Structure 1
Amino acid sequence: MQPILLSPAFKDYLWGGTKLKTSFGKKSDLAIVAESWELSTHKDGQSQVASGPDTGLTLSDYIQKHGNTILGKHAEAFNYFPILIKFIDAKDNLSVQVHPDDAYALKHEGEYGKTEMWYVLEAEEGASLYCGFKSSISREEFQRRIEDNTLLEVLNQVKVHKGDVFFIKSGTVHAIGKGIVICEIQQNSNTTYRVYDYDRRDAQGNPRPLHIQKALEVAELCPPAQIGNDTPPKNCGGYTVKQLASCQYFTVEKLDIASSATLQISKESFQSIICTEGEGSLTLDGNALRFQKGDSIFIPAQETSYSITGACEIIRSYV
């Protein structure tokens, strides 16, 4: 089973910009590209195969055609494709929001909850985001501050720089600030509960809906247990590997490749390769696949090795 290039689904949310087109080579007729869903089988936006004989198939149809064995043994623990990977360009502030855990989301939304991690690709001078609270507060205070528009006063605000890592466990109240571009690896879910949206209006002049009651039921009203990741990179000779996050839903690594790297894949899990800097070529079983900054590659689960040549930064994810 050869690796395949994927083309993303695009979202034009009102806070988005144009950096995914100008800096990451995304081709879209949309004036605003807030998000590109690079690895997705979600009903709200599917990736499509963009190389090989299956070009044009959605990722869901590709998996159905070749069978769930290409996802690997670890994916058997999930009822459907386990993760979703996207680029996000926040030209303006995103809403303050929270995602439910699996139990709540399955009961109320019919899909998994959403634990996620962010790797910062770009950050303008002074950019920041919110992650959890400065200190623990009561649910009554949380509701009152939502109602009187003082919620930002008690949220934990963090300055952001290129290369920063944030782990956002389900239940963590958060918001990406303007001037930030990230790569997000998350559970395969699109359930978001907004609690504050800067009184913005949509194209029809209507305020976007808030989900205060559900947010009150799922939010963890305390400082975040984990924000960044200080794990040092491992030098592998010609390239380095740094683990960015690892949890029950996904493991994410950043590879900085000077010229070449030989990597392993097993029957335990598929792998996602996202190029965030540079360009190169991925070769498996003698077949080479060229890629550049912004490209997404899916490698089916199998027992073999593959090589990457070229000076590039890679985000590798698996379950």
Structure 2
Amino acid sequence: DALGTRAAKFPYFPLLIKLIDAHDELSVQVHPNDDYALRVEGEYGKTELWYVVDAAPGAELLYGFAHEISKEEFRRRIEDNTLLNVVRHVPVQKGDVFFIPAGTLHAIGKGILICEIQQNSNTTYRIYDYGRIGADGKPRDLHIEKALDVTSLAPAPAYACGNEVDLFAGARARLLAACGYFTAYHLTVDGECVLTVSEDSFQCLTVLSGNVQLRTETDGLQLQKGESVFLPAGLGHCVLAGMGDLILSKI
């Protein structure tokens, strides 16, 4: 199976990997956990990881609350448009990492390029949208009642990603996150790096900068910034050659 043995517990392809280039403030939102999403929406919830690929000077994102609030205050601040006064505004720079468990309020700010690794789910509850108007000429829908059900009202804990790991011969590697839904590494290649794709999981490579060549026993592929490639479980050994930064994602 191309997805690997660890993917057997998922009913469909388990990951979405995106590059999000925010030219404006994106909506404030939250995702439910699996239990709530399966019961209410009929699909899985969403836990995700953000890696900041680039950020304009002064750029910031929203990540949880600045201090704990009550559900009543949460509702009131949504209704009177003062929600941004109590959320945590986090200045960001290239290389920052944010792990966003289901239930964490979050938003990407203007001028940030994000690589996002997430559960494969479309369930999103929009909480605040800066008064934007949709294509129908009306304010875009908010999902206040469901957001009240699932949002953690305490400050999000500070997240420290892992240290450098010696798992990929020829590359510097840092563990970004490991959870029940995905594992992600940041790789810096300068020369040649050997990857091993075992039977337990596929691997996805996303190039953040530079140019690298992927070589398997039977084929070769040139990859540049912004491109991704899927490596099926059981592929075995392959080589990355060149110079670049990549995200490696797997189950």
Scaled by the length of structure 2, what TM-score is found? Answer: 0.96
Alpha-carbon distance in 2 for matches of 1:103, 1:238: 41
Alignment of 1:240-259 (within 5 A): 240-259=172-191
Paired residue for 1:188? 120
Paired residue for 1:211? 143
Gap change, CA 1:101 and 1:237, over 3 Å in 2: closer
DSSP-derived class of the 1:311 partner:
strand
Structure 2 residue corresponding to 1:232, chosen from 135, 142, 163: 163
1:88 counterpart = 2:20: yes
DSSP-derived class of the 2:54 partner:
strand
Per-residue deviation, residues 82-113 of structure 1 (Å, max 9, x unmatched): 11111101100011110000011111111110
Alpha-carbon distance in 1 for matches of 2:154, 2:42: 27
Alignment of 1:51-70 (within 5 A): 69-70=1-2
Scaled by the length of structure 1, what TM-score is found? Answer: 0.76
Query: Does the CA-based 8 Å contact 1:168-1:227 persist in structure 2?
Result: no
Paired residue for 2:213? 281
Q: Which has the higher contact order (CA 8 A, sep 6+)?
A: 2
Where in structure 1 do 4 or more consecutive aligned residues deviate above 3 Å?
234-238
DSSP-derived class of the 1:312 partner:
strand
- 1:210, CA displacement in angstroms? 0.2
Where structure 1 has 5 or more consecutive residues not aligned to the other structure, the ranges are 1-68
Alpha-carbon distance in 2 for matches of 1:219, 1:280: 41
Query: Does the CA-based 8 Å contact 2:169-2:195 persist in structure 1?
Result: no
Query: Does the CA-based 8 Å contact 2:170-2:194 persist in structure 1?
Result: no
1:111 counterpart = 2:43: yes
Alignment of 1:117-196 (within 5 A): 117-196=49-128
Alpha-carbon distance in 2 for matches of 1:81, 1:91: 29
DSSP-derived class of the 1:202 partner:
coil
Where structure 2 has 5 or more consecutive residues not aligned to the other structure, the ranges are none
Paired residue for 1:6? none
- Which amino acid in structure 2 is aligned with residue 224 of structure 1? A
- Which amino acid in structure 2 is aligned with residue 310 of structure 1? G
Structure 2 residue corresponding to 1:269, chosen from 198, 201, 205: 201
Gap change, CA 1:171 and 1:281, over 3 Å in 2: same
- 1:289, CA displacement in angstroms? 1.1
Per-residue deviation, residues 213-244 of structure 1 (Å, max 9, x unmatched): 00000000011124342x33236664201011
Alpha-carbon distance in 1 for matches of 2:94, 2:172: 18
Gap change, CA 1:228 and 1:203, over 3 Å in 2: farther
Alpha-carbon distance in 2 for matches of 1:170, 1:138: 19
- Which amino acid in structure 2 is aligned with residue 290 of structure 1? Q
Per-residue deviation, residues 91-139 of structure 1 (Å, max 9, x unmatched): 0001111000001111111111000000111100000011011111111
Per-residue deviation, residues 281-305 of structure 1 (Å, max 9, x unmatched): 1111141111111111001100611
Structure 2 residue corresponding to 1:299, chosen from 224, 231, 241: 231
Query: Does the CA-based 8 Å contact 1:167-1:226 persist in structure 2?
Result: no
Alpha-carbon distance in 2 for matches of 1:71, 1:257: 25
